[in-house]
Structure 1
């Protein structure tokens, strides 16, 4: 891989052409499914099959929500059955006790679910690790026992006599009639979910699984996005509960307990929790398998009981061991593959921030300190970065360089001191607010989404650019009302990839790139944010000699365009031949600052950092290289 700084390469155009000509298998598969579903009720299909298909559809709705929440967003929930109960009980109560239309019952259920999910999400989505699943179990049990103990909901006997659902005056009295209503909603949920995932807010949701640090550094309000996806999953479950109530014509608390919440998660995981189609596959496989086992196991064992749960547990362990991506990961291998997003032909450019005047003081780090208990990681460090210069922050391992980066970019909070950017104090602001001002960074340990394409990874960097109304437009994304904005974002990502020499890898999975290429990809993602100050944490690590030369040429080109660069790097040849000034740290303290030549001759650096003999040998070689 050789990085380029010229115009878009022919290879990228060819790659884009190949991607656009690939068979849109997902559309073909959807069409075949629609035709099969449409024919099923009108053919002499056994009534039992229709009933089974109805339940598969209801379960699929909940599983689609879990794909968004768990598979894409990375947040595990065992409590979706409780939201199914909210939808079912809302329409059941309002239609039987108040005589209202079922459609008003649906609206009421969605409103109640929105309020509950917003409150629960605001509290629980801040949790991580094992605390989040435990919290979902807690509120699931709370709602379940609430359903069973409220007098006006019939306690554990529930509510009966729920009226028939009517669509355009046509009563849906039978299971065959409800079949179409259920599956139209399922297909609509699939379409809306797919549209969302292939958009700016969808990429933000997918970025959640890669960790909060990277997402926030790209300007994503992770707390808000977590709550949004949690509410969406709850809404899908609520609609499933509404349809269930009018299919069964009676409700009681039993189907809304923790056991069913666990089964919904099983369905998503078995099918493929990272894929919308996996939700349908998982719901179908587990529903059919459960029915078969309930009839077969009592005959084999000679007694009755819920033996199918034992089989499910064993199968789940085996699946997680040998196929953690679910059944869909195997099925999709037989289908033509293609990227989610395509780089468009030239599109209108995104707005570009005004570059600061050459020599303007951009970054002013004043006596910053970071303490972890009694350990001082950064000890009153001060330095400046001006517009149009490349500054290196160097020092041995453990010197506090990356911690200083984190203090500047809001990843860590300062104990003392302050950081100013263009005269404004940015100390202890959130990362998403700092990147808005024009500071973007890469990471010492690469933070990418390996299963996403190179193009989509880079497009995350443009999250804050463009029309502000489109940035948080989840509804607009689901309805594909943001197509023009998407074209701009993806074209910008393509331009930046071609700028750094990855234009021929647009549609490769980011995880398939070599480490050096992944670091260059991170630089392209940072450039997509249109920063005035670029912070690079060990950008040359893992690059070969020619790649380092190409990276240095790119950084010099950026400097010539008015961009400032602050970089941490251990490769002394790379740093000495590139930077305008160096700041040297040791044990969290700044021990030297100046031009590369001055730093090379600084006694403190010679003694504490490189060693006198090694530094003396390097000085001659570095001086010759710099002069060349």
Structure 2
């Protein structure tokens, strides 16, 4: 999908107030609109409100979970047909039939989501496209659903004895559902679950390494999206008093997709804006083109409709909402021109701030926390890692070094769960984690950083570190939707702010994470990993791109964390830093362990000298200019040790 995704800033009191004000203004506009709008415009708005419900669901699915679906019409049809069948064939009361319609749509989403969400990208889009065709054929070829004729003969509902028999009343009838859907979607977007989904969309492997369960969360938002589509189908059936196979056709799924993309992915308001635009273009051009081109046929009108959509997408690739938001920010930036810019350079090399960092470990220092036995990875005839075995004890720093291509990162990936080993076993605190998803290891207390930066670009620096607190939160899907997690979120944000101060990032908390200089992105990634309070931390070249001052800062912090009980496995090309920091060093060459022992032993091991360090390394480290002195400045960071 070429459309851009809107970034999601962390929610503050001002933003929450703005959302509430927006909902109030929308409610007032809906009340007034029937008195000022023309009948044709009122009809457009009514259909836009109905179609906004599946569009909101699709926006959550695509904008948050990053899953493209072309089968939204299938859930729309499920809700509409269930509702109509219960009304006409079983004389079920309207409210109960409506609830059943939504429930059936959600059940269908659950049943198809379990197998389909194991697919990604265009594979998922094609699979959901097939789902739409299946539902359309079933309702078209089944007597129970009325075949091509569909189901009709049911009247519009009554509310408090008032028949909803015109567009004005129906607008007021559907509006509460749309307002509630908008509010719930906003809550989900800003919630712990919503931020985890957004992080998965940015970097699935990084999010999973922080404990985010990918499949479960994506399935949850898929089911919610299907339920909103089913609710839209219920209102559609009421409005037109007819349900035919047209409600399951591909063009309707494409319309829902256009609404989400045109409005702006990741923006709840964008779904509503997109629904209004698509409906206005469809109906408005039907009236306008015959005036511009007398005698124009329906095909010409469709061409005009398509051209208008293409022009809108080209002019606003991020959607209308993002365009308006960018315009507003530009106006504010112009008004505040002349103020000093936010600092981006690294802070001065002063002592670390006096903050508390927590380390959680279930074992005493010196006990084995990680066991690696016979770890092997083959790619066809190429052996990347061959029969690697070692133990890691609590409260120690283990250095993993070797020349380029030695298999260090491959080992990391197999230990953390990002890669399934061909053979071998990995046990963390006695539990097997080999071949399991990274979030399993994260929940047991192991997290990691990455050789190639994995930054959550959809949020700011503070939001990245806040995501590291995911496992320390408890608010789930339901609490997130209902907005019942304010206290927990404030506490987690306060913890994230402490880490920002500890790592010297408190001058750029609201800067887009992708705009940070490379070295500070490295620091942010380490801070994010430590935010989860791991017992075992895997650092894959954390000092790459850092200045000398930043390296010294990180080295002092790692020593303090070791004292507090944190176990660290460090892959680093700066051999001098590894030898000065590590308690043990493991040397890989061509995927095989060639040496394992103390830094002094490894420094003088002939096998290491021959394979990696070179003849000059027999007396000095390979990188003497970056070796952090053992007598470093006293560390000011206060470290808490907590039992898991």
Q: Which residue of 1 aligns with 2:441?
A: 434
Q: Quick one: distance in 2 between partners of 1:421 and 1:311?
A: 62
The equivalences for 1:366-377 within 5 A come to 366-377=373-384
Q: CA deviation at 1:354?
A: 4.4
Q: Check if 1:477 corresponds to 2:469.
A: no
Gaps of at least 5 residues in structure 2 are 1-9, 333-355, 632-644
Distance across 1 between alignment mates of 2:565 and 2:237:
63
1:48-78 Cα deviation digits (max 9, x unpaired): 2211110111121111111110121111011
Deviation at 1:313, TM superposition (A): 4.2
Task: Note the C-alpha offset of 1:479.
Answer: 1.1
Q: Residues of 2 paired with 1:352 and 1:602: CA distance?
A: 34
Q: Per-residue deviation at 1:495?
A: 2.5
User: Which of 356, 381, 386 is the equivalent residue of 2:393?
Assistant: 386
- 1:344 corresponds in structure 2 to none
State yes or no: 1:39 paired with 2:32.
Answer: yes
Structure 2: how far apart are the matches of 1:434 and 1:575?
A: 25
Secondary structure in 1 aligned to 2:187? helix
Q: Which moved more, 1:415-424 or 1:68-77?
A: 415-424
With over 3 angstroms needed to count, the CA separation of the structure-2 counterparts of 1:502 and 1:627, relative to structure 1, is closer
Do the aligned partners of residues 284 and 522 (structure 1) sit closer, same or farther apart at CA in structure 2, a change above 3 Å counting?
same
What's the Cα RMSD here? 2.7
Partner of 2:176: 184
Counterpart-to-counterpart distance in 2, 1:523 and 1:444: 12
Provide the TM-score with structure 2 as the length reference: 0.87
Out of 336, 347, 356, the position equivalent to 2:363 is 356
2:137 is matched with which residue?
145
Alignment of structure 1 residues 99-498 onto 2, 5 Å: 99-301=91-293, 302-315=295-308, 317=310, 323-335=316-328, 353-354=360-361, 356-467=363-474, 470=475, 473-498=476-501
3-state secondary structure, aligned to 2:435: coil
Aligned residues: 598
Structure 1 contact 356–562 (Cα < 8 Å) conserved? no
- Report deviation, 1:578: 2.0
Decide which of 568, 571, 575 is 1:568's aligned counterpart: 571
Point out the more displaced range, 248-257 or 556-565.
248-257
CA distance 1:319–1:258, shift in 2 (3 Å): same
Aligned to 1:599: 602
Aligned to 1:55: 47
Quickly say closer, same or farther: Cα 1:576–1:310, change in 2 above 3 A: farther
Task: Tell me the distance in 2 between the aligned counterparts of 1:24 and 1:465.
Answer: 27
C-alpha change, 1:158 and 1:577, in structure 2 (3 Å) is: same
Unaligned runs of 5+ in 1: 1-15, 339-348
In 2: Cα distance, 1:494 partner to 1:91 partner: 50
Question: Does structure 2 retain, via aligned residues, the 8 Å contact 1:298–1:305?
Answer: no
* Partner of residue 592, structure 2: 589
Between the aligned partners of 1:64 and 1:511, the Cα distance in structure 2 is: 27
Determine the C-alpha separation between the residues in 1 that align with 2:282 and 2:626. Answer: 74
CA apart distance, 1:306: 3.4
The TM-score, its normalising length taken from structure 1, stands at 0.89
Worse-matched range after superposition: 611-620 or 49-58? 611-620
1:523, CA displacement in angstroms? 1.5
SS in 2 for 1:591: strand
Write the deviation string for residues 344-396 of structure 1: whole angstroms up to 9, x where unpaired. Answer: xxxxx999744532222222222211112221111111222222221111112
| Partners of 1:350 and 1:607 in 2: CA distance | 41
Cα 1:551–1:112 shift into 2, 3 Å: same
- Counterpart Cα distance in 2 of 1:522 and 1:459: 11
CA distance in 2, matches of 1:314, 1:320: 10
1:232-288: CA deviation from partner (whole Å, max 9, x where unpaired)? 111111111111111112221213310111111011111111211111111111211
Report if aligned partners of 1:63, 1:265 keep a CA contact under 8 Å in 2. Answer: yes
- CA separation of 1:619 and 1:132: change in aligned 2, threshold 3 A: closer
- Once the two structures are overlaid, the 10-residue window that deviates more, 318-327 or 393-402, is 318-327
Structure 1 window deviating more from structure 2 (98-107 vs 164-173): it is: 164-173
Separation in 2, partners of 1:411, 1:247: 50
Deviation of the 1:585 alpha carbon = 0.9
Q: CA deviation at 1:456?
A: 2.3
Distance 1:422 1:118 in 2: 35
